[in-house]
A and B are shown apart, each in its own frame.
Chain A
Amino acid sequence: MAAEKKGLQLLDFWVSPFGQRCRIAMAEKGLAYEYLEQDLGNKSELLLRSNPVHKKIPVLLHDGRPVCESLIILQYLDEAFPSTPALLPAGDPYARAQARFWADYVDKKVYDCGSRLWKLKGEPQAEARKEMVEILKTLEGALGEKPYFGGDTFGFVDVAFVPFTAWFLSYERYGEFSVAEVAPKLAAWAKRCGERESVAKNLHPPEKVYEFIGVLKKKYGVE
């Protein structure tokens, strides 16, 4: 058997906000990695072998060993590379717990509600719109007056949520609302994050995401 590939590799899909979390985290930490774009319609041997349970991206390979699930990958990066800037605040269990709670909230709520916004019509879509506004206001509440969810530093929750800012335009168009209107501090936070090199280099333009959703809608026969 060939020797395991040394270093970091990321199995990912270009538009995935979950994959982007990992890209942004590694950029913030100054970690070099090999990006391996995956064809999700025809999954590779490597992907199926690395994530046999879920067969999903992102997967981080570290010296050939797989770590799956984006938030777990973020914590792994903190713990395996302790000399790099920490995403979870070191030595503060309560701040860490709050960060984990809010990242979990993003995971439970944002993507699913967003998908319902563009997949559904009529009453169910209106419900999804109402829910998305609620979610954004809740997250804005958690942000408070801080520049970042992590306080003064760009941290775990910021990395967990920022990829979804590229989806705001799409949520706004399908939901017929404005993020700047319903959650102005959140909109300001999104802009602030967008000025960071790690974010600017790793998110796709919102119009591209909107275009991608259009393709998905055709694929799923949603019109």
Chain B
Amino acid sequence: MSPPVKLLGTFSSGFSRRAEAALRLKGVPYELIQEDLSNKSELLLMHNPIHKKVPVLLHGDRAVCESLVIVEYIDEAFDGPPLLPIDPFDRATARFWARFIDDKCSTSFWLSLWTEGEVQKGFVKEFKQNLALLETQIKGKRFFGGDTVGYLDIAASGIAHWLPVFEEVASVRLVTDAEYPDLCRWAKEYTSHETIKESLPEREKLLAIFTAKKDFFMSTVKSMVPK
């Protein structure tokens, strides 16, 4: 019998929710341990001493860190529908776009939200270009994974569910049906998927949390904007 699974995570973290989505899709029961990131637990610091971040998956005496690493671990360690495609080239493609989302889209999106004026215009242009590239991957497909939700859908979940909330908090509208019809269609499919929607935090609660943190978010970009 498989040892118990615990997940160190938070309510609002998209990264933490990626791990939850993967566990639910595989039908793996788990205990969620809510972390207070302003007062990190001994458990978190012990199992992720390098980055001190959530999520951390605890599977018996194993600790796995980094959300995408966790999703691949869940795919490999548990039975159930595969999260990554079977074909090596398709797997490489999925991994490539997941990295693209984390390395490029997230950063340009974040900077688009909280900067102003000419600087903001530059980041908005960059983000929109990034999104246009991502949209090519969902054209004509129900999910990034094809007919079923998979690794890349989970990696892109921030775009489906968190992005619109951030847009509202920042009073910025970047992703419209007109400009990104396929991505927007996918977002609706993804967030209403019967298993995925269980892994998503309620929108109104997210909105309240992020609205309260708006000043903090704005302060984070100061060190990120190149001089």
Q: Do A53 and B100 have beta carbons less than 8 Å apart? A: yes
The one of A68, A73, A93, A104 that contacts B66, using a Cβ cutoff of 8 Å: A104
Q: Are A105 and B89 in contact (CB under 8 A)?
A: no
- Contact B77–A80 (Cβ < 8 Å): no
Q: Is B209 an interface residue (CB 8 A)?
A: no
Contact of A93 among B50, B76, B133 (CB under 8 A): B76
Of all chain A residues, the one with the shortest Cβ separation from B133 is A53
A97 touches B99 (CB 8 A): no
- CB A139 to nearest CB in B, in angstroms, measures 10
Asked whether, in the complex, the Cβ of B96 is within 8 Å of the Cβ of A68, the reply is yes
Task: Please encode chain B, from 67 to 106, with 1 for each CB lying within 8 Å of some chain A CB and 0 for all others.
Answer: 0011011001100000000001101100110011000000
Known: A53-B100, A53-B133, A105-B50. A75 touches B73 (CB 8 A): no
Q: How far is the CB of B126 from chain A (nearest CB, A)?
A: 13
> Contact partner of B88 among A79, A100, A105, CB < 8 A?
A79
* B91 near A93: Cβ-Cβ < 8 Å: no
Given the contacts A80-B89, A104-B66, A138-B50, A93 and B95 also touching, CB distance less than 8 Å: no
Q: Is the interface of A mostly helix, strand, loop or mixed?
A: helix
CA distance A72 to B50 in the complex (A): 23
Which A residues lie within 8 Å of B76 (CB)?
93, 96-97
The verdict on A15 contacting chain B, using a C-beta distance below 8 Å, is no
- Please name all residues of chain B whose beta carbon is closer than 8 Å to the beta carbon of A62 when the two chains form the complex: 89
Q: Does A65 contact B (CB under 8 A)?
A: yes
Interface residues of A in 146-184 (CB under 8 A from B): none
Cβ B69 vs Cβ A101 within 8 A: yes
Does the CB pair B64–A101 fall under 8 Å?
yes
**For residue B94, which residue of chain A has the nearest CB?**
A72
Q: Is B25 an interface residue (CB 8 A)?
A: no
CB distance from A32 to the nearest CB of B (A): 18
Q: Does A76 lie within 8 Å of B89, measured CB to CB?
A: yes
Within 8 Å of chain A (Cβ to Cβ): is B152? no
Tell me whether A72 and B92 are in contact (CB under 8 A).
Answer: yes
Give the bracket for the number of chain A residues in contact with chain B: 20 to 34
Q: Mark B36-71, 1 if CB is under 8 A from A, else 0.
A: 000000000000001000000001001011100110
Q: Is A94's CB under 8 angstroms from B77's CB?
A: yes
Flag if B73 contacts A93 (CB, 8 Å).
yes
In the bound complex, do residue A94 and residue B66 qualify as a contact, i.e. CB atoms below 8 Å apart? no
Query: For chain B, what secondary structure do more than half of its interface residues adopt (helix, strand, loop), or is it mixed?
Result: helix
| A67 adjacent to chain B (CB < 8 Å) | yes
Q: Which of A65, A94, A104, A138 sits near B89, CB closer than 8 Å? A: A65
B89 close to A100 (CB less than 8 A): no
A72 to chain B, nearest CB (A): 5
Inter-subunit contact A67/B100 (CB<8 Å): no
* B50 proximity list for chain A (CB < 8 A): 105, 138
Contacts A53-B133, A94-B77, A101-B64; is A75 near B92 (CB within 8 Å)? yes
- Bound together, the chains give a CA A76 to CA B100 distance in angstroms of 17
B65 touches A101 (CB 8 A): yes
Pair A100/B69 contact, Cβ less than 8 Å? yes
A contact residues around B69 at 8 Å (CB): 97, 100-101, 104
Is A131 part of the contact surface with B, judged by Cβ < 8 Å? no
B-to-A contact residues, CB < 8 Å: 50, 59, 62, 64-66, 69-70, 72-73, 76-77, 88-89, 91-92, 95-96, 99-100, 133
19 A-B pairs whose Cβ atoms sit less than 8 Å apart in the complex: A62-B89, A68-B96, A69-B96, A72-B92, A72-B95, A72-B96, A76-B92, A80-B88, A80-B89, A93-B73, A94-B62, A94-B64, A94-B73, A96-B72, A97-B73, A100-B69, A101-B69, A105-B50, A138-B50
A94-B77, A101-B64, A101-B65 given. 19 additional CB < 8 A pairs? A65-B89, A68-B96, A69-B99, A72-B92, A76-B89, A76-B92, A79-B88, A79-B92, A93-B73, A94-B59, A94-B62, A94-B73, A96-B76, A97-B64, A101-B66, A101-B69, A104-B66, A104-B69, A105-B50
